[in-house]
Structure 1
Amino acid sequence: MPKQIRDLSISDASVMLEVSIDTIRRWEKKGLIKISRSSLGHRVFSEQDIQLLKEKISGKSSFNYKVLKSEEKSKYNVLELFAGAGGLALGLENAGLGCIKLIELDKIACQTLKVNRPHWNVQCEDVGKVDFRSIKADIVAGGFPCQAFSYAGKKLGFEDVRGTLFYEYARAIKEIKPKMILGENVRGLEKHDQGRTLQTMLKVLDELGYHVSYKILRAQYFDVAQKRERLVMIGIRKDLHGKVAFPNEKNYTVSVREALKDVPKSEGQKYTPIKYDIMELVPEGGYWRSLPLDIQKKYMGASFYLGGGKTGMARRLSWDEPSLTLTCNPAQKQTERCHPSDTRPLTVREYARIQSFPDDWLFSGSVAAQYKQIGNAVPVNLAYHIGKALIATLQNKLSNQDFTIVDFNHKHE
Structure 2
Amino acid sequence: MTKGCMTFASLFSGCGGFDLGFTSSGFRPKGAYDLDHEAVKNFESNVCGEIYRTDLTNGIPHERNLRNVDVLIAGPPCQGFSTAGKRLVDDKRNHLLTLTGTLALRISPKVLVVENVSGALSGEHVKYFNALDGMMKDAGYLTKTIRCQTADLGMAQLRRRVLFIAWRTKRDGDFEIDNKAAGDLRTVLTGAYKEKNHNPIQLDPGGRDALIAKRILQGQKLSNVRGGENAVATWDIPEVFGSVTQHERTVLELLRRLRRQERARSYGDADPVSIKRLEAALGETFHQLLEGLIEKGYLRRIADTVDLVGTFNGKYRRLAWDKPSYTVDTRFGSPRYFLHPSKQRGFSVREAARIQGFPDSYVFSGGEQAQYRLIGNAVPPPLGCLAAKLAKRLLGN
Q: Which one of 36, 48, 54 corresponds to residue 125 of structure 1?
A: 54
- SS of 1:323's partner is coil
Shift of the 391–197 alpha-carbon distance from structure 1 to 2, 3 Å rule, reads same
Letter in 1 for 2:110: K
Q: Hey, what does 2:71 align to over in structure 1?
A: 139
1:243 alignment partner AA: D
Which amino acid in 2 is paired with 1:120? G
1:96 pairs, out of 26, 42, 64, with: 26
1:341 aligned onto 2:342: yes
Shift of 1:186: 0.5
Instruction: Quote the RMSD (CA, aligned, Å).
Output: 3.1
Corresponding residue for residue 329 of structure 1: 331
Query: Distance in 1 between the 2:181 and 2:93 partners?
Result: 42
- Native 8 Å contact 2:334 2:347 kept in 1: no
* Pairing partner for 1:191 from 122, 129, 134: 122
Give the 3 Å change call, closer, same or farther, for CA 385–305 of structure 1 in structure 2.
farther
1:275 is aligned to 209
Identity rate, percent = 28
Post-superposition Cα deviations, 1:265-320, rounded to whole Å, max 9, x if no partner, equal: 51245545210111111111111123562438949977995699965212100000
- Structure 1 match to 2:13: 83
AA at the equivalent of 1:256: L
- 1:369-408 alignment, distance < 5 Å: 369-395=370-396
Residue aligning to 2:275: none
Q: Which amino acid aligns with 2:77?
A: P
Structure 2 counterpart of 1:210, one-letter code: Y
Separation (CA, whole Å) in 2 of partners of 1:81 and 1:188:
20
Kindly report which structure 2 residues correspond to 1:348-367, keeping only aligned pairs within 5 A, or say none. Answer: 348-367=349-368
- Give, in angstroms, the shift of residue 91 of structure 1: 1.1
**Equivalent pairs, count:** 310
Structure 1 residue 166, shift from structure 2 partner: 2.5
Q: Structure 1: how far apart are the matches of 2:298 and 2:76? A: 36
- Partner Cα distance (1:197, 1:175) in 2: 19
1:290 to 225, 232, 238: 232
> Measured at CA, do residues 86 and 353 of structure 1 come closer, stay the same or move farther in structure 2, by a change above 3 Å?
same
Q: 1:224 to 1:246 in 2, by over 3 A?
A: same
Larger radius of gyration: 2
Q: Is the 8 Å Cα contact of residues 226 and 355 (structure 1) preserved in structure 2? A: yes
Partner of 2:322 in structure 1?
A: 320
CA drift at 1:341: 0.3
In 1, Cα distance between the equivalents of 2:93 and 2:329? 29
Q: Which residue of 2 aligns with 1:56?
A: none
Q: How far apart, CA to CA, are the structure 2 residues paired with 1:356 and 1:147?
A: 21
Does structure 2 retain, via aligned residues, the 8 Å contact 1:264–1:359? Answer: no
1:250 shift after superposition = 1.5
Taking the aligned partners of 2:100 and 2:8, their CA distance within structure 1 comes to 13
Deviation at 1:148, TM superposition (A): 7.6
Letter in 1 for 2:19: A
Distance 1:144 1:369, change over 3 A: same
Change (3 A) 1:219 1:163: closer
Moved more, 175-184 or 306-315: 306-315
Q: Which runs of 4+ in 1 moved over 6 A?
A: 299-304, 306-310
Q: Identify the residue that residue 44 of structure 1 maps to in structure 2.
A: none
Name the TM-score, length of structure 1 as normaliser: 0.68
Q: Give the distance between the partners of 1:195 and 1:245, measured in 2 at CA.
A: 24
Deviations 1:72-113 (A, max 9, x none): 962211110011111110011112212111101111111101
- TM-score, normalisation: structure 2: 0.71
Q: Could you tell me whether the CA contact under 8 Å between 1:212 and 1:235 is conserved in 2?
A: yes
1:206 corresponds to 2:137 = yes
Q: Hey, what's the Cα distance between the residues in 2 that align with 1:345 and 1:98? A: 37
- Provide the secondary structure at the position in 1 that maps to 2:115: strand
Tell me: CA distance 1:194–1:84, structure 2 relative to 1, closer, same or farther (3 Å). Answer: closer
In structure 1, the partner of 2:38 is: 108
Closer/same/farther in 2, CA of residues 305 and 229 from structure 1, 3 Å limit: farther
Change (3 A) 1:370 1:194: closer
Whole-angstrom CA distance in 2 between matches of 1:250 and 1:363: 30
